[in-house]
A = this chain, B = another copy of it.
Amino acid sequence: MKNRIVIGADIGGTNTALGLVTERGEILTEVKFSTKAFEKPQGLVKAVSEEIKCRLDEIGAENALCGIGLGAPNGNIYSGMVENAPNLRWPENVDLRTMFSDALNVPAVLTNDANAAAIGEMIYGGAKGMKNFVVITIGTGLGSGIVVNGDLLYGHSGFAGEMGHTIAVRDGRLCTCGRRGCLEAYVSIRGIRQTTVEVLSGRKAPSVLRDMPLDKLNPRTVAIAAQEGDDLAQEIFDYTGEILGRHLADTVAYLSPEAIFFYGGVSSAGDVLLGPARRALDANVLGIFQGRTTLAPSALQGRSAAILGAAALAWKTFCLPKKGV
């Protein structure tokens, strides 16, 4: 039983990334799939499992696997199911925990992808030693993992921490959840794209963004334009950061975290987004919280925070109590 490993999986609306992870947090090998390429979750589980078995063979670790940690949108730690995930075109309830556990013949544990990222940040990233912090993942949607007194906040239902679906603009933009004005409708790839289209069509000022085909307009290209001095591109991030920052004033009043970390595609915009967000937080936060919460990019690059977090969850759940490994 030496050199045991777990799988850490980050199942996102766009991509699914997995790693074979040691107890020390080394990712031995990483696998990536397009989530959207599979119509049904069964197809994804089958493809992932076969690839994992090949990789285990390659590194001679067929018998070393002791568990799977899964992070997925609307993943419920209590039921093991992905329930009504708005960013996955899957049936209402998908028992992903059982499907992966059966396919690979080891126990599995499932949580929200953002919760997995928060565990990763706590154990391997910028939140080491912190007892109260939040990780916000910004990608297709906006997720959040909240740590309180050193533990994840799951709440009574297992779904606590759905910050993407708290209301940033009352009666605002239509969200994928069917309601209006959710934070996710503004601060996400989709939200920033919509803001880009609105700003470009509503204003006459010149911008390099006007020469780009619509499918090239995304947070990354807009952020690059802003960093290169394009005024309209900066305006798009000022608007997004302002909505984010003033909303975080409420988050701080609820939770008073030591830090809020930003993770995922949009977060790579860095200070183009976090600068305006910090200013709006400072301008809107209640006096007693002033200057007490840091906004920072995740200390873990790429998608590895969620992989490492899901792996850490698996270690904690299945492997660590058995000492003497």
Specify the chain B residue showing the minimal Cβ separation from A172: B170
Question: Which residue of chain B lies nearest to A165 when distances are taken between CB atoms in the complex?
Answer: B286
Does residue A60 face the partner (Cβ distance < 8 Å to B)? Answer: no
The reply to whether the CB of A89 lies closer than 8 angstroms to some CB of chain B is: no
Pair B166/A257 contact, Cβ less than 8 Å = no
Q: How far is the CA of A129 from the CA of B10 in the complex (A)?
A: 34
User: What's the nearest-Cβ distance from chain B to residue A184, in Å?
Assistant: 11
Whether the Cβ atoms of B159 and A256 lie closer than 8 Å is yes
| Nearest B residue (CB) for A86 | B287
Kindly state the interface size class of chain A when it binds its partner. 35 or more
List residues of chain B with CB within 8 A of the CB of A286: 162, 165, 177, 179
A250 surroundings in chain B (CB, below 8 A): 166-167, 250
Partner of A159, one of B74, B160, B288: B288
A155 to chain B: which residues have CB within 8 Å?
Answer: 132, 148, 255-257
State how many angstroms separate the Cβ of A290 from the closest Cβ of chain B.
10
Q: Does A24 contact B (CB under 8 A)?
A: no
What residues of chain B lie closer than 8 Å to A169, measured between beta carbons?
A: 170
Given contacts A148-B153, A149-B149, A149-B151, 8 further A-B contacts (CB under 8 A): A84-B288, A148-B151, A155-B256, A156-B292, A157-B292, A160-B256, A162-B286, A170-B170
Name 10 A/B residue pairs within 8 A (Cβ), A-sorted. A132-B156, A149-B149, A156-B257, A157-B292, A158-B256, A162-B254, A163-B253, A165-B253, A166-B250, A166-B253
